[in-house]
A and B are shown apart, each in its own frame.
Chain A
Amino acid sequence: MTDPATGPVTGPVTGPVGDPVSDVPASLDVSGLAFAYPDGHQALFGVDFSVARGERVALLGPNGAGKTTLVLHLNGILTGGTGTVAVAGLPVDRRNMAEVRRRVGIVFQDPDDQLFMPTVREDVAFGPAAAGVKGAELEARVDRALELVGMADFKDRPPHHLSFGQRRRVAVATVLAMEPEILVLDEPSSNLDPASRRELADILRALDVTVLMVTHDLPYALELCSRALILSDGVIAADGPTAHLLADDELMRAHRLELPFGFDPRSVPARG
């Protein structure tokens, strides 16, 4: 499944996707990350994990666990605590910021925040245009990204006129157009009806990028990600195969994670 939009990643290496090789730097490497907001509220207390290239990893955690705070560290929007973040071997610091932001594509929870331009086309073009892409190449990128999320027909529509599910998909396209190394999704399934949720899952599964999916939609995590991390009280409390973590009742209870009624992770067939 090669995917044109994410094809030529200009990272330092291009290893076989989905098969992390030891000399390929991890897509994401976080170590010892601690952070407090200026009002004194501390959200992260030393977070360590790494995501290999091509992996799809779910970041689970109850409300207030620090998930969003962590996400904002991944592309350097928040800095100033202790610890380090590296994206494909590139440390997130002031000098690399432009490149880091190109490599880390964050899809925020509320697509209205993400879609700030007057039309879908301009919105998708924003990222690559800010990176200096122009003319035909820009149009091609926009078309490819919209194609990937099945929204090509809505190019000239204002975001305001789209349904919530459509807006979420366009939000994904805005990030794909930047050809990121890693796609970070903040609660991708929130507020979606079952059909939109399914469509989005299909889109994500078809993409050929590293994905970090922040969610408390546990079945969705199980469906899309083979590995999961549990962030609780500002630290990584567990890291392992999603199915195993979800099956561990005690672990789940300890971190206020609950499966939907009647859902048994053991009975779900494994999927890529």
Chain B
Amino acid sequence: MHVPDGFINAPTSAVTGVVAAGAVAVSLRGARRELGGTSRAGEAERGGERTAPLAGLVAAFIFAVQMLNFPVAAGTSGHLLGGALAAILVGPYTGVLCVSVVLLMQGILFADGGLTALGVNITDMAIVTTVVAYAVFRGLVKVLPRTRRSVTVSSFVAALVSVPAAALAFTFLYWIGGTTDVAIGKVATAMIGVHVLIGIGEAVITALTVGAVVAVRPDLVHGARGLGPRLKLRVNGELVDAPSGNTPSGTTPSGTGPAPAPVAARSHRKVWITGLVASLVLAGFVSFYASANPDGLEKVASDKGIDEKAEEHASADSPLADYGVEDITDARVSGGLAGVIGVGVTVVAGSAVFWAVRRRRSDDASPSSTETTR
């Protein structure tokens, strides 16, 4: 979905550029909290310490994992887009940052996605995907029983919804600022139809991957943090409570940082979350049925990257080999999806507000962790 230069008109590109810059700025602050493990105001600057290396490594992971080929059938294969995965594993802010950095580097280094279209690409693929995925994920995790399976199921749905949501957002942008006059219904249908199918692949892979991480290091899954027994120390055979408020901050080598768990803040927002989820799922599925595009499957295969059997050079150093044919609209079917687009846009906007509010509260609620760094 890397949009090139000249695809979306200049004003729209400029506006999305501003949106993207704003979102990245917000994420820079948010990511400090997600990764820093500190939340008290006076320690803000120290809380940010972990952000650069951790987000950098996660971005490198996203970049690498996009090259991991998942064979579909008959020589075709797909790969992960990674927005939903990033959101679930490291949280929405860090997710936005990582995907944005990946897009920025792809644009500058590989000319993949136009420089002037950077705003469009970031808005679409980094922000919408990540925020929608995380909103859906958190919503489901809260509603479902607290088990590992719920985490996996939620990841599946989150990833499934996030991809068509991004397609919707793209359609919306195209509707506003597309340089060619294609009926918006056609664009929407083609984009969403294809991307629901891509979303299914994305969902399976994301859910399996999150499942694999949860099985080994549940503490690393941002969306599933917040459970853990009280720490005890044994000194010379006696059990002693670890000095509270003095637990090692996130800097332990095993990565078991303190959980900035949003446990305290729940309940009365449940309704809202459920509503969001319902509308999102609806948006995804309605458009799926509305599109009913039979030859979509082949499209997904090609869309998700035609695999050169020789993975060797596809792996580390072949970004070219890896970008498959994407976004071929094969326009058919009618319009009438304006409603769905409306829902999508509302959901995206709603999620943004939701996030702002939620974050502010969990800030106050999150446990104070210590400071080992000065």
Contact = CB atoms under 8 A, between A and B. Distances in A.
Contacts of A37: 248, 252, 254, 256
Contacts of A79: 246, 248, 370, 372
**CB-based closest 3 A-B pairs:** A97-B374, A80-B246, A38-B256
A117 to B, nearest CB: 11
B11 interface: no
Contacts of A32: 235
A39 B374 contact: no
16 contacts: A36-B242, A37-B252, A37-B256, A38-B228, A38-B247, A38-B248, A45-B234, A77-B251, A77-B373, A79-B248, A80-B247, A81-B233, A94-B374, A95-B374, A97-B373, A97-B374
Contact of A94 (B236, B247, B253, B371): B371
Contact of B236 (A35, A46, A72, A81): A46
Contacts of A42: 233-234
Contacts of B240: 82
B34 interface: no
Interface of B: 53, 219, 228-229, 231-236, 240, 242-243, 246-248, 251-254, 256-258, 370-374
Nearest to B57: A116
A42 B240 CA distance: 12
A34 interface: yes
A98 interface: yes
Interface in A51-89: 68-69, 72, 76-82
A208 B253 CA distance: 30
A77 B258 CA distance: 15
Contacts of A35: 233
Contact of A80 (B229, B253, B370): B370
Nearest to B373: A97
A46 B235 CA distance: 7
Interface string A5-32: 0000000000000000000000000001
A269 interface: no
Interface string A189-221: 000000000000000000000000000000000
Interface string A76-114: 111111100000000000110110000000000000000
Nearest to A71: B253
Contacts of B228: 38-39
Interface of A: 32, 34-42, 45-46, 68-69, 72, 76-82, 94-95, 97-98, 116
A34 to B, nearest CB: 5
Contacts of B373: 76-77, 97
A98 B374 contact: yes
A69 to B, nearest CB: 8
Contacts of B53: 116
Contacts of A76: 372-373
Nearest to A80: B246
Q: Which of B232, B235, B240, B374 neighbours the largest number of chain A CB atoms within 10 Å of its CB?
A: B235
Greatest chain B CB density within 10 A among A35, A41, A46, A80 is at A80
Contact of B254 (A39, A82, A97, A116): A39
A77 B372 contact: yes
B233 A34 contact: yes
A68 B253 contact: yes
Nearest to A98: B374
A40 B234 contact: no
Contacts of B252: 37-38, 78
A78 B231 contact: no
* Among B231, B232, B240, residue most surrounded by chain A Cβ atoms (within 10 Å): B231
Contacts of A72: 253
Given A42-B234, A97-B373, 15 more contacts: A34-B235, A38-B228, A38-B257, A41-B254, A45-B236, A46-B235, A68-B253, A76-B373, A77-B373, A78-B251, A78-B372, A80-B243, A80-B246, A82-B233, A82-B243
Contact of B235 (A40, A82, A98): A82
B344 to A, nearest CB: 40
A42 B251 CA distance: 16
A38 to B, nearest CB: 4
B258 A38 contact: yes
B236 to A, nearest CB: 6
Contacts of B242: 36, 80-81
Nearest to A42: B234
A77 B374 CA distance: 9
A60 B198 CA distance: 53
